Amino acid sequence: MSSPKTEHFKGQSYRKIKSQCIKKKGLFVDTSFPACGPSVFHSRPAPADIIWKRPKDIVPDPKFFIDKASADDFAQGTLGNCWFVAACACIAEDSSLWKKVVPDYHEQEWCKENKYAGIFHFRFWRCGKWLDVVIDDQLPTRGGKLIFLHSKSRNEFWSALLEKAYAKLFGSYEALTAGKSRDAMVDLTGGAGETLDMIDYRGEEKKMRLFDILHKAKENNSLMCASIQAKSAAEMETKLNIGLVRGHAYSVTAVKKIHLKGTGLFHLFNREKMLMIRCRNPWGGIEWKGPWSDGSHEWTKVSEREKKELGLTFDENGEFWMSFDDFCRYFTTIDVCHIVNTSVFTVKKSYYKYVLTGEWRRPHLAGGCGNHNSFLKNPQYLLDVLVDDEEIMISIEQADRRSASFDKRGDNYCVGYAIVSVNINRKYRMHERSERVHAGPYVVSRSIFDRVHLKQGRYCLLVTTFDPGYESSYMLRLYSQSGLKIKELTKDQPKPPGCLGKPKIAATSITIHYCDGLKDIDKDGIEAYCTVKCEGQDVRTSTSKKSIKPQWKERMTFYQRTPDEDITIDVRYRNMIILQFMIFNSNIQDTMNCRTEFLAISSQFLIL
């Protein structure tokens, strides 16, 4: 699959603008995101003591990077955007990730050969494409110091510049207040975001399932942040007596099974491994104070070799370990950004990835959820599952309505999806409701992520808003281990025949339920299937499980240009016809003397 394209945000080309600045021997001034109050606060006047300064006017020797990117490069300022800071700390530990966000990072360093021009650029992923965001390096300060995101090294500026580019994408620094770490991690990586609620994993068995999800995700280099829900505005960012902070996003930096000393083959009654989580507070300093905290006596149970492998330190850097039990006891939500492995050149488990883009659009593609009569007036996708019990990961990402790209910014829509059973020869859009197989969560969120297990067969997936009439664009991504077939259904019906007078098409729907009375063929039962022939089309059902009463419950629809032509149904066993029926004008007639007693069929006939 080709890499996603990159677009210039607001039409600004970094190289073109920098070249012009160098030619004119001047520093870039970004009029699309000016160094003034509204770029800081869009809802109220900015404090008068905020002064915009370039890094060269803050310190004598500014640097883009010092050594390399690290989690220590991100210290949250006075802005309530810990969700973004925690996400940045996650990508800083993986060079393959941050290099996507920070293109040409060598060329953006302060040095003579790079011809500094006061211009920088960063990339953020939005709905299948990377947006290249250009900024000037004027930063808001108070008392000569940066007031928002900054590095612990006073002369390192890449994190502050990154935050400014993200603020430009949203329209102001204030717009970064109170977001979701999942969305920031997706913007920084192009991964698929998922939110896990601890309440869904109560009980030991479910808790172990959660640990397995997190452990495998971390092994696949996925990013994670965790938070403790604040039940009111007054509780936001209040500190618990065990050192954790409500309403605050923590980076999850490790998910491990740690060996304890004195356990193993000859200590079968002792606990051999401890399930552990390592977190990082973007504020730094404020850490967990409970068991397994920095310097606690529990670490005497771990060998020095194990500590070294873990890279264990007890620095006041905001990073700490805690048991998985305590993690589940205190944290309420985990945001995961899945970096799904789709490479064939790997020994790890890999997935097939399918990406489709679309839009909800009135009057025919914005029908709302299944509560509404207009439900089928939504984007529809034909989905073929090739193996039984296939786990499919589904991600739906809508255009972010908080972004500066929208003239009228607002809350994101409540979105979800539904999967319904369809005819096995479905080619056209559905116009009648069918059995619902699965309904995903409907959430007021920029994106949703769900896992669903489906049997082999053909389905229709509908991507919807909760209420009808809402218009926006979206991206649908599906991941599976065994492969799928998926395509959008766009046509309502086939073209009518070209003839004089009013053209007509007959639509005949047939459901084959079961076949009874096959004891004479094989008393132990048979594995049978049906073939249906209509106007040159041959449609085959699946092969039934071995039974004296094979069952299919499969439906098919034929659009007939010659409605009087017969439809033939053959029941076959080992490629031999053991029963045949004919249908014309919705009437069923047995056309031959068969061993079987009855084939259960229902049909509908309609002139369109």
- Cα–Cα distance between 226 and 248 in angstroms, integer? 8
Counting Cα atoms < 13 Å in the Cβ hemisphere of 348 gives: 11
- Cα–Cα distance between 405 and 401 in angstroms, integer? 8
- Cα–Cα distance between 339 and 113 in angstroms, integer? 36
Strands 567-573 and 528-534: antiparallel
Residues 6+ apart with CB under 8 A from 235: 246, 247
Contact 465, 443 (CB under 8 A): no
Which residues on adjacent β-strands are paired with residue 451? 393
Distance from CA of residue 181 to its chain's centroid?
13
3: left (phi > 0), else alpha (psi -120 to 50), else beta?
beta
Which residues on adjacent β-strands are paired with residue 444? 414
Does the active-site annotation cover 82? Answer: yes
Does the active-site annotation cover 281? Answer: yes
Q: What is the DSSP string of 201-217?
A: G-SHHHHHHHHHHHHHH
Rounded to 5°, angle at Cα 445 from 440 and 446: 105
Residues 6+ apart with CB under 8 A from 309: none
Contact 286, 261 (CB under 8 A): no
Of 150, 248, 279, 423, which residue is the catalytic one?
A: 248
* Gyration radius of the chain over CA positions: 30
SS3 9: helix
Contact 209, 426 (CB under 8 A): no
Residues 428-431: contacts with CB within 8 Å, 24+ apart? 428/489, 428/491, 428/492, 428/493, 428/494, 428/559, 429/376, 429/380, 429/489, 429/490, 429/491, 429/492, 430/376, 430/380, 430/460, 430/489, 431/376, 431/492
| Look-up of token digits 């972004």 | 403
Burial class (CB in 10 A: 0-12, 13-18, 19+), 80: middle
Burial class (CB in 10 A: 0-12, 13-18, 19+), 162: buried
Cis peptide before 38 (omega within 30 of 0): no
| Look-up of token digits 């790209």 | 405
Does the active-site annotation cover 267? Answer: no
Which residues on adjacent β-strands are paired with residue 569? 532, 581
Of 21, 81, 127, 281, which residue is the catalytic one?
A: 281
Contact 374, 368 (CB under 8 A): yes
The token duo for 181 is 């770490």
| Per-residue CA distances from 528 to 70, 106, 555 (Å) | 62, 66, 16
Of 82, 90, 460, 594, which residue is the catalytic one?
A: 82
Catalytic residue list: 82, 248, 281
